[in-house]
């Protein structure tokens, strides 16, 4: 589900509430106005009824008004009977000769007696003007309703945007913040106490993280450097020991096994130190680098290994792959990918390298696919990689994370394929 911004989330419920409240207010106001208009019309009809009934007592000619005329009433004699004296008012349509059309009217119907005779009195009044007034009022209410809602939404939008501006500035700083980047959060000017408290808590948390990061970085660097010296001494002494006379073949084999273990530990220590430096972003300067040149240089450096593995190498260059990155990291990136493709290749296997302006595809012989979700994790190794540190591709992935313009993917298409691509 797509997430909304806090401002839009707040504005959404505010708009819903405003729409409901103003709509209810407008409906009640319109109903009240209608009621008042009809009350005034009905009062006029009732007043006319009283005047006509009084006039009928003094002027019997009025009782002969059988059709509506200019006086807008008619009187109809009724047969003897018991009739209700209650007036009845209703809306109707009546033909108007001057407009040649039916127009809305309000009709009052009542019963009265005069000279012992019962009569039905019907009085009407046109409601054309009132209906037009109500239509105009309804239109005005709708326009006012829309104008009010839009105005309130816009006002709240600008008010909320201004009120939340310190929060968004703080978010932008956090988005650009990189631990170990030697940048601190700038104070955010806010008139809201909660934002000041938030800034204070985040600043304190950043300071704690920076302190822990610095301590961890120093510990890793010191530990790695301290390990390098005793490892080098131990390896040198083992090599001197292997050169002595009088050692049995079994002793030489055992010493060689220890030597290989120490060599692997030395490589592991160097790789961990490299990984730590990469993740700590200690490689700063970037430059435009043609990776084609690094591919050729790396193949030259790995020539002894590739000849030992009898690897058949082919290169297809259709353009220069140029990237903005640190040269040392670019060298490590290419070297690790090519070394991985040679070391984990079958004896006499194939290594194909395809280079274009957008991507570098490195593929080598392989029988089964590796786990694409774990292959770039630390210490991931297949069953045939006992001497591997399991950090080569993890270092590759860490380097790629430093450069959002690049990506690395793995796929298996009868061969292991690693694709370095520009985003």
Q: How confident is the model at residue 40 (pLDDT cuts 50, 70, 90)?
A: confident
Across 25-49, average pLDDT: 85
Compute the distance between CA of residue 46 and CA of residue 57 in angstroms, rounded to an integer. 17
Residue 386 clears pLDDT 60, i.e. is over it: no
Across 134-152, average pLDDT: 82
Same-domain status, 222 and 121: no
Same-domain status, 391 and 292: yes
Across 82-99, average pLDDT: 78
171 falls within a domain: no
Same-domain status, 237 and 213: yes
Same-domain status, 229 and 214: yes
pLDDT of residue 138: 81
Across 386-401, average pLDDT: 74
Same-domain status, 292 and 406: yes
pTM above 0.85, yes or no: no
182 falls within a domain: no
pLDDT of residue 47: 87
Q: How confident is the model at residue 361 (pLDDT cuts 50, 70, 90)?
A: very high
Bridge-based pairing state of the strands 350-355 and 312-317: parallel
Compute the distance between CA of residue 154 and CA of residue 146 in angstroms, rounded to an integer. 12
More confident call, 120 vs 284: 120
pLDDT of residue 356: 92
pLDDT digits (tens, 9 = 90+) for 250-267: 887 788 788 777 777 777
pLDDT of residue 359: 92
Closest to 104 in 3D by CA, of 114, 91, 117: 91
pLDDT digits (tens, 9 = 90+) for 261-303: 777 777 777 766 776 777 666 666 788 989 999 999 889 888 8
Q: Worst-scoring range by mean pLDDT, 235-244, 265-274, 346-355? A: 265-274
Structural domain including 382 reads 283-422
More confident call, 3 vs 422: 422
Same-domain status, 337 and 386: yes
185 falls within a domain: no
Residue 354 clears pLDDT 90, i.e. is over it: yes
Compute the distance between CA of residue 269 and CA of residue 225 in angstroms, rounded to an integer. 9
pLDDT of residue 126: 79
342 falls within a domain: yes
CATH number for the domain spanning 365: value is: 3.30.565.10
pLDDT of residue 101: 72
Residue 4 clears pLDDT 90, i.e. is over it: no
Same-domain status, 272 and 377: no
Instruction: Indicate the average pLDDT of the chain.
Output: 80
Q: What percentage of the chain exceeds 70 in pLDDT? A: 86
CATH number for the domain spanning 221: value is: 1.10.287
How many structural domains does the chain have? 3
CATH number for the domain spanning 83: value is: 3.30.450
Residue 218 clears pLDDT 80, i.e. is over it: no
pLDDT digits (tens, 9 = 90+) for 147-205: 887 887 788 778 877 877 888 888 888 877 777 666 677 777 777 788 788 888 888 88
Same-domain status, 377 and 260: no
Residue 320 clears pLDDT 70, i.e. is over it: yes
């Amino acid at each position: 589900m797509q997430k909304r911004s806090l401002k839009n989330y707040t504005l959404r419920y505010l708009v819903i509430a405003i729409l409901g409240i103003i709509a209810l207010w407008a409906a009640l106001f319109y109903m009240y106005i209608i009621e008042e208009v009809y009350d005034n019309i009905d009062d006029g009809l009732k007043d006319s009824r009283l005047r006509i009934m009084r006039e009928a007592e003094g002027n019997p000619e009025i009782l002969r008004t059988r059709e509506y005329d200019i006086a807008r009433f008619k009187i109809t004699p009724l047969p003897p009977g018991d009739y209700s004296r209650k007036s009845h008012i209703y809306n109707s349509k009546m033909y108007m000769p001057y407009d040649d059309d039916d127009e809305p009217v309000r009709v009052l119907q009542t019963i009265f007696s005069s000279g012992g005779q019962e009569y039905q009195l019907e009085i009407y009044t046109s409601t054309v003007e009132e209906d037009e007034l109500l239509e105009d009022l309804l239109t005005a209410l709708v326009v006012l309703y829309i104008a009010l809602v839009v105005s309130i939404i816009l006002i709240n939008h600008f008010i909320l945007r201004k009120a939340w501006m310190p929060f968004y500035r703080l978010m932008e700083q956090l988005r650009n913040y990189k631990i170990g980047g030697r940048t601190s959060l700038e104070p955010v000017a806010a008139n809201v106490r909660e934002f000041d408290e938030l800034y204070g808590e985040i600043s304190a948390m950043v300071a704690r993280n920076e302190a822990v990061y610095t301590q961890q970085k120093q510990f890793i660097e010191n530990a790695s450097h301290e390990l390098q010296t005793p490892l080098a001494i131990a390896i040198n002494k083992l090599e001197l020991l292997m050169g002595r006379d009088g050692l049995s073949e079994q002793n030489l084999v055992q010493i060689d096994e220890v030597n290989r273990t120490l060599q692997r530990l030395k490589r592991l220590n160097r790789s961990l130190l490299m990984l730590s430096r990469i993740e700590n972003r200690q490689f700063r300067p970037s430059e435009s680098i043609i990776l084609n040149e690094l591919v050729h240089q790396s193949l030259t450096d790995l020539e002894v290994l590739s000849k030992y593995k009898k690897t058949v190498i082919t290169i297809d260059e259709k353009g220069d792959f140029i990237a903005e990155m640190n040269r040392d990291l670019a060298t490590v990136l290419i070297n690790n990918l090519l070394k991985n493709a040679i070391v984990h290749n079958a004896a006499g296997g194939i290594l194909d390298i395809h280079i274009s302006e957008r991507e570098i595809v490195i593929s080598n012989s392989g029988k089964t696919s590796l786990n694409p979700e774990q292959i770039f994790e630390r210490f991931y190794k297949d069953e045939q990689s006992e001497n591997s540190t399991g950090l080569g591709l993890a270092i590759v992935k860490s380097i790629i994370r430093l450069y959002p313009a690049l990506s690395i993917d793995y796929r298996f298409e009868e061969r292991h394929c690693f694709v370095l691509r520009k985003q």
